[in-house]
Homo-oligomer: A and B are copies of this chain.
Amino acid sequence: MNIAVVGLGLIGGSIARAFKEKTGHMVYGWNRTQQILCKAKLVGAVDGPLTDDRLAECDAVFIALYPQTAIRWLTEHAPLIKKGALVFDTCGVKQPVCAPCFALAKEYGFDFIGAHPMAGVEHAGFDSSTGSMFEGASMILVPPTGMAIETVAKAKALSLELDFERVVITDAAEHDRMIAYTSQMAHVVSSAYVQSPCSLRHRGFSAGSYRDMTRVACLQEDMWTELFLDNSEPLSAELGELIGRLQRFHDAIASKDAETLHEMLRAGRVRKEEADGKVL
């Protein structure tokens, strides 16, 4: 199979590497900067550059760009894509991306399925990409209404070739609601957490809980600003709820209300056990 990977950053680079390391597919890459494309060729992450001619021969296309850039790329290249080809994005929000891309796919006779690989590290760029990035991770797929079951199955099979542990099929609204909580809000909290003056003096006073809490504060602010604003409603709602819970903790601690505090901590522990699927 010929596979196009558009954007060789952390995720695109990892997709290209994984296909080359784990399958026999041919991989053609495109990147904004030429230097990264050379490096990708050099380390064997791609077989060559993705030209317009090659795009027309690709059976699968992974667009690993920021949301608005991904939509723009597909708008510009849709006429060149092979009929019946399967196109994935990799964006962290699905409603704003899937709607225009579903429409383009219908218009030009290829298939588009929203995709969000639930993997990554806190460092951006091709240099942090690895062929093992998706091992043990989830791939979330968002097919359009009425997509043929065989096409969804093909998208799933291709995801599993990247060694994802599981593939979740959902719709764009549910994806965006869940991601606001599991991923986006974690980045907001981490950024807010590290901005205390105490963080500069943490050495010797910190251990795993500080490290975990601040890990993803080292984020790429251009991308996350776009993702947060594309998902403003679910994210601000979830964040408002969290602030309310933190305020109740604050009040119990400030007023030395042991009973309320104990009950809130107990509720959190029980919830954590439930969420982890432990027998209660």
Question: Which chain A residues have a beta carbon within 8 Å of chain B's beta carbons?
Answer: 118-121, 137-138, 140, 166, 168, 175, 177-179, 181-183, 185-196, 198-210, 212-222, 224-225, 228-229, 232, 235-236, 238-243, 245-247, 249-250, 253-254, 256, 258, 261-262, 264-269, 271-277
Contact = CB atoms under 8 A, between A and B. Distances in A.
A209 B191 contact: no
Given A179-B205, A218-B269, A235-B253, 8 more contacts: A181-B199, A191-B265, A200-B275, A219-B268, A220-B269, A221-B266, A224-B265, A228-B253
A208 B175 CA distance: 17
Nearest to A119: B207
B118 A217 contact: no
Question: Could you say how many copies of this chain the assembly holds?
Answer: 2
A167 B256 CA distance: 32
The list of the 9 closest CB pairs from A to B, nearest first, reads A191-B268, A168-B204, A186-B209, A212-B212, A221-B265, A181-B198, A236-B254, A217-B272, A178-B205
10 contacts: A181-B199, A182-B210, A189-B193, A190-B213, A192-B249, A196-B241, A199-B271, A199-B274, A214-B275, A246-B246
Contact of A195 (B178, B179, B268, B273): B268
Contacts of A195: 245, 267-268, 271
Contact of A140 (B204, B250, B268): B204
